[in-house]
Amino acid sequence: METGAIVAAVGGVLLLVSLFLDWFGTISGWTTFEVLDLVLAALALLALAAAAERVGYPNPVAGRWLTAIGVAAAVIVASQLLQHPPVGVGRSPQVGAWLALGASLVITAGGLVGMARISVELVVEREPEEGPDTRDVERAAAREAAAEEPKVERELYPPERGGGPLGADDPEPFRGSGPGPGPEDETQRIE
């Protein structure tokens, strides 16, 4: 799985979430801005669509635009942190604004990682369990099977077996599943 797309998707979700949090004082991102809130929401959705395209879901937004989407969002958020909007004048930036800045940087990083074709693989190694080494157990089983093989072969194919048809030398006659034993159910030696 492509790491860049996952990172950018997380950034897009965080950017959307940041708009619902307080940006300046107790004012959320949706009420802080007149138009920029819609632009940031659109950029977050574009980031999600571009990340989905990178993972393999076809859509009109190419995955190569992730970096540009992240940079655009970062520029908008940074400009609003440096020059507060009219409703934010005299108020300090809150968690929503900082989360939006971080999310836009995460989208940018996801785009860059995706362009570099970097992927992460998680490998979990377990500690060996206590007990005998499985190779030793396999070797012992192979030795035991080799020792038993001649005995089994003699049981299955005795040398004194006659040359008649299969079943002719069976010690017990075959009994059919009919209503009762009859002469046609017994195994007869063919001469």
> H/E/C letters for each residue in the chain?
CCHHHHHHHHHHHHHHHHCCCEEECCEEHHHHCCCHHHHHHHHHHHHHHHHHHHHCCCCCCCHHHHHHHHHHHHHHHHHHHHCCCHHHCCCCECHHHHHHHHHHHHHHHHHHHHHCCCCCCCCCCCCCCCCCCHHHHHHHHHHHHHHHHHHHHHHHCCCCCCCCCCCCCCCCCCCCCCCCCCHHHCCCCCC
Summarize pLDDT for 163-183 with one digit per residue, the tens: 556 666 666 555 555 555 555
Confidence of residue 75 (pLDDT cuts 50, 70, 90): very high
| Neighbouring C-beta atoms of residue 111, cutoff 10 Å | 28
Mean confidence (pLDDT) of the chain? 81
Q: Does the pLDDT at position 77 exceed 60? A: yes
The pLDDT, as a whole number, for residue 52 is 84
Q: Residues 120-144: what's their mean pLDDT?
A: 78
% residues pLDDT > 70 (the chain):
77
Is residue 29 within 8 Å of residue 103, measured between CB atoms? no
The pLDDT, as a whole number, for residue 190 is 63
Provide the whole-model pTM.
Answer: 0.59
Summarize pLDDT for 29-65 with one digit per residue, the tens: 899 888 999 999 999 999 988 888 877 777 777 767 8
134: left (phi over 0), alpha (psi -120 to 50) or beta: alpha
Q: Which helix (H) or strand (E) holds 108?
A: helix 95-115
Q: Residues 133-154: what's their mean pLDDT?
A: 84
The pLDDT, as a whole number, for residue 185 is 52
